[in-house]
Amino acid sequence: MEMKRQWIWLAVLAITMLTAFILAGCAPAVIPTPTPPPEIGFANPQLLVETDWLAEHLQDADLRIVDARKAEEYQAGHIPGAISIPRDSTFDPQAPKGMVGRPEQIAALFGNKGVNEKVYVVVYDIGKETAATRVFWTLEYYGHPKVSVLNGGLKKWQAEGRKVTAEEPEIAPVTFTVRPDPTKLSTKEQVLEDIGKADVVMLDARSPAEFRGEDLRAKRGGHIPGAVNIDWVENFTAGEVPVFKSAAELTQLYEAAGVTKDKLIHAY
């Protein structure tokens, strides 16, 4: 009787295993669906404006388009309705080249061009330059609440067959109230104090040759001790009409160099 029970148990086990094997062969395996990586987007996408948007809003009364190129370039042809505020005109003429203009200088410069806190400002240059972003930063530093950069600049605008003009708009002067934001400007004293700190990054945006001291454009070559080098041109795509790289590409570029959101960054 005991032997018979063993055979019955073995038969049931064999049938169970065979059934499982057959079902496994007939039915597709259940593979867990991998979780897709999260989409990386710009934290402040409004700071970049596309040419399509600008073309639709050229006639907006509360829009000021600022051409940050040299005055002669502006006069040769610009986006309709744009006003000329060359980058160098925002520098302090009484200080070493590149120092931001004094409050009264900036107030007069932008106010005379119809720029105050009530208008939305879109700044552009040829496209792959530093002029537009520098004027953008100047307005941010002095407290303007609504400023963007035109992605691709004039080169993209023209590549799309859009109109340019030599006509200069008549703009009534306004009062531009400056409100400097010290958190947007690093001083020499702050940089000297922060050298070597683990939670601080010195970000050198010059060319590698300048960073290494081989291309000398200052009194001395080289860089701030401990600085990392990301050439400013690396922010743009390649090709005939460069635009800013995607948020994912820029995130990878900066994080690979140790420039992360949890650190204080002194960019120069």
237 located within any domain: yes
Tell me how far apart the alpha carbons of residues 66 and 86 are, in angstroms, rounded to a whole number. 9
How many domains does one find in the chain?
2
For the chain, give the mean pLDDT: 89
Is residue 29 in a domain? Answer: no
Asked if residue 25 is part of any domain, the answer here is no
Report whether pLDDT(59) > 80: yes
Asked if residue 199 has pLDDT above 90, the reply is yes
Which of 201, 198, 192, 227 has its CA nearest to residue 212? 227
CB 68 within 8 A of CB 123: yes
- In this predicted structure, the answer to whether residue 6 has a pLDDT above a threshold of 70 is no
Residue 191 token pair: 């940089």
User: Helices (DSSP H) in the chain: which residue ranges?
Assistant: 2-26, 51-56, 71-76, 103-111, 131-141, 153-159, 188-194, 208-212, 247-256
Residue 34 is predicted with a pLDDT of: 58
pLDDT of residue 39: 75
In a domain, 89, yes or no: yes
**Is 49 contained in some domain?**
yes
Q: Are residues 103 and 129 in the same domain?
A: yes
- Over the stretch 68-111, which tens digit does the pLDDT of each residue have? 999 999 999 999 999 999 999 999 999 998 999 999 999 999 99
Residue with tokens 């001395």: 220
The size of the chain, in residues, is 268
Q: What is the pLDDT of residue 15?
A: 35
Using a 10 angstrom Cβ sphere, with 0-12 exposed, 13-18 middle and 19 or more buried, the burial of residue 127 is buried
Q: Is residue 246 part of a domain?
A: yes
Take residue 15 and report the two structure tokens written for it.
């049938």
pLDDT bracket for residue 172 (50, 70, 90): very high
Residues 232 and 125 in one domain: no
Looking at 121, 154, 182, which one is the last position of a domain? Answer: 182
Same domain, yes or no, for 155 and 257? no
7 within domain boundaries: no
- Domain encompassing residue 110: 45-182
pLDDT in tens, 206-235: 999 999 999 999 889 999 999 999 999 999
